[in-house]
Chains A and B, each alone.
Chain A
Amino acid sequence: MSDDNLIIYEEEIERIDSLLTKLLKGAEAKCALLVDKDGHLITRQGFTHSLDTTALAALLAGSFASTKEIARLVGETEFSVLFHQGKKDHIHMTIVGERSILAVIFDDRTTIGMVRLYAKETADELAKVFTTMTDRSARGDRPEVNADFAASAGNKLDDIFKD
C-alpha cells in the first residue's frame, strides 16, 4: 500500500500548471482542476477562489468512481469522458493516465467542442508528465518530509481534539 503513495514534485507541478494555463487560454474555460482518483486535489488553475476545491475534488472523484461502476455494468472498462451540463456553468471531465482526472469548468463563452478538443490534448500531455513523476517516485526520489513530523502532528492533534 505504502509504495502507492501519490508523490507530487515541484518541477512536475510547474509543468502541469503551465499545461493547465494553456488549456484555459485555448479553450477559454473558467478553471481547471487536476484531481486524484482517490479524491485528493493535485493542482488547480483559473478562477477557483469562489470554489470549495477540496470538496469539489472529493465529489468529482466520487462521481467518476460511480460512473466507472456503471461502465462496468454495461460492459465497458470505464468512461473516459464525463460531461455535466448546467444552466450557466458546465463541467467536462477527462481521465488522465491511470489515476487522475482533469476537470474543466466553463460557461457559455466557449463551447463543449473547444473544451473537449483542448482537454484531450492536455490530458495526453499530462499523462506523460505523470509517467515521469511515477518513475521518479519509483526510483525512490523522495525528499524527507521531516523526521519528527508524526510526533509533532500528534501533539497538535491533542491540542485540537479536546473534548
Chain B
Amino acid sequence: MVSINYATREVSCKIVYYGPGLSGKTTNLQYVHQKVPSDTKGKLISLATDADRTLYFDFLPINIGTINGFAAKFQLYTVPGQVYYNATRKLVLRGTDGVVFVADSQPDKMDENIESLNNLKENLAEYGYSFEELPFVIQYNKQDLPGVLSMEDMRKALNPYGWPEFGASATEGFGVFDTLKCILKKVLDKAKSSSDAPQPQPAQGSGPIPTTQAPPQPMPQPQPQMPPQQTVPPPPPIQQPVQQPAYQPAYAPAAQQVQTAPPPPQQQPQYIQPQPQYEREAVPQDQQVRQTSDPQGYRPFPGNTMEDEHRMTVRSQMQTGQVQTQPEQQPHIEQNQQHSTTAPQMAPSLKAADRAEKPKKRSFFKRLFGLK
C-alpha cells in the first residue's frame, strides 16, 4: 500500500524480500546498506536470533531524494525464511507494494524454493493480492557457487509467469542493485498509475506480466512430485496456531452449546401452554416435579428449597389428579402472558397451589370471639 502524504510531500512504498531460509534475503539488504550513499539510507534494523537468523524482519529505509517535489522513500523488509515462521512472514507481508523473491540456486534447495513460492502465493491471497497484480521480481541468488542450477533451469521451475528475473550473488554483490532497481521502478509505476486513476477499479492486467491467467504449471518438469497449483500440501504445524480453529477447542464447547441449543421459538410454546403429559413421559418419578415445573418458569431460590419442594409437589398433584383446578389456573397464565413473558408464569401457579393446599383459616373476628 503506497502512502502518499500531500502534507509532507512524500511517497512511501514497502518492498518485501521473500524466499526460503538461508537464500540470502538479509545479505541482499546488507549489501544495499553497505553500498548505498549514506545520505540515502537509514539504519539497517535486524530483528534476528543469536545465531543471526532473522526472527521477525530486517528493515532498511531508503530515501532516494526529492523528485518533482515529492520525496520518494522506500522501506525494504525481509522475512524469516524458515517454514515454521509463517505467521511472522504473513505479518511482514501486510501492506506490501512489491515483492522480491530470492531463490537459492543450489540444486538441493529447489524444493524449498518451490515451497516458499507456494507459501508466498498463499499468504498474498490472504491479503487479497495476486501474483498478476503485485509488482514482482525474482532473483536467482548464489549464482557464484559451483554446481548451481542455470538461469534456464531456475526459470523453468520458478518463473512460469515471466516475472523480471536476475541472477545474483548477494555476497559478491552482482545482481543485487539490478533486482532492487527493477522492483522500485515497477512499484513507482504502479503507484503512479493508481494515483492517476481515481476510480477504485484499475484496469485489470495492466501490469507488465503478459499472461494474466497463465496455465497452472508453476513447476513443470524438474519436480514431478509436486503437483501444479499445489498450495503447500503438508501445511506445517505452524499454520495451526495461526488459524482460528486452533484455539477453538478450549472455548468451543461453551460456544457451541449456546449455538446448538433449541431456538427460543420452539421452547416458548412450552412456557406459554404447559403440557404436563408431554413432559412427564420419559422422566423418572422423583425428577418429575422439577422437570414439569421448569417449563412453567420455576426457578428455585437458594434457602427455601424445602418450601419449594413442598409447593412443587402440591402443584404436580394438581396437574395430574385434580382436574377441576385446571380451568382456574389456565386463565391466570393467559392473563399474565399478555403483560409479561417471564416472571408471571411462576407466580400464578404457586398462588393457585397455595390456595388449593392450605386449609381455609377462620376469619380474624371469628378467632377473636371464639366462634366456629
* Residues of chain A whose beta carbon lies under 8 Å from any beta carbon of chain B: 1-10, 12-14, 36-40, 42-43, 52, 54-55, 58-59, 62, 65-66, 69, 72-75, 138-146, 148-150, 152-154, 156-158, 160-163
Q: Are B4 and A153 in contact (CB under 8 A)?
A: no
**In the bound complex, CA of A141 to CA of B85 (Å):** 40
Q: Which A residues touch B247, using CB under 8 A? A: 72-75
Contact of A157 among B1, B43, B57, B181 (CB under 8 A): B181
Compute the total of residue contacts between A and B using a CB distance below 8 Å: 179
9-residue interface stretch from B197-205, B222-230, B276-284, B331-339: B197-205
Query: What's the least CB distance linking B11 to chain A, in Å?
Result: 7
Other A-B pairs beyond A2-B197, A13-B7, A73-B246, 10, CB < 8 Å = A1-B134, A3-B201, A58-B45, A62-B57, A69-B242, A72-B244, A138-B200, A149-B70, A160-B36, A161-B32
Pairs across A and B, CB under 8 Å, 9 listed: A9-B6, A58-B59, A58-B75, A58-B77, A62-B47, A62-B92, A69-B91, A138-B200, A154-B188
Q: Are A55 and B43 in contact (CB under 8 A)?
A: yes
Interface string of B15-58 (1 = CB under 8 A from A): 00000000000000000100111001011010100000000110
Q: Are B37 and A146 in contact (CB under 8 A)?
A: no
**In the bound complex, CA of A2 to CA of B4 (Å):** 12
Known contacts being A39-B75, A54-B42, A55-B45, is A149 close to B64, with CB within 8 Å?
Answer: no
Contact of B1 among A6, A66, A74, A158 (CB under 8 A): A6
* Residues of chain B whose beta carbon lies under 8 Å from any beta carbon of chain A: 1-8, 11-12, 14, 32, 35-37, 40, 42-43, 45, 47, 56-57, 59, 61, 64-65, 67-70, 72-73, 75, 77, 87-88, 91-92, 94-96, 128-129, 133-134, 173-174, 177, 180-181, 184-185, 188-202, 241-242, 244, 246-247, 250-251
Contact of A62 among B32, B56, B68, B173 (CB under 8 A): B56
Q: Are A149 and B1 in contact (CB under 8 A)?
A: no
**In the bound complex, CA of A152 to CA of B67 (Å):** 7
Known contacts being A8-B5, A65-B94, A160-B36, is A1 close to B128, with CB within 8 Å?
Answer: yes
Main secondary structure of the interface of B (DSSP, over half): mixed
Q: Which A residues touch B199, using CB under 8 A? A: 140
Contact of B198 among A55, A142, A152 (CB under 8 A): A142
Contact of A66 among B68, B88, B189, B198 (CB under 8 A): B88
Q: Are A150 and B189 in contact (CB under 8 A)?
A: yes
* Nearest-neighbor residue (CB-CB) of A59 within chain B: B45
**In the bound complex, CA of A73 to CA of B249 (Å):** 12
Known contacts being A59-B45, A154-B188, is A160 close to B37, with CB within 8 Å?
Answer: yes
Known contacts being A36-B3, A160-B40, A161-B180, is A5 close to B64, with CB within 8 Å?
Answer: no
Q: Are A10 and B246 in contact (CB under 8 A)?
A: no
**In the bound complex, CA of A40 to CA of B4 (Å):** 10
Q: Which A residues touch B45, using CB under 8 A? A: 55, 58-59
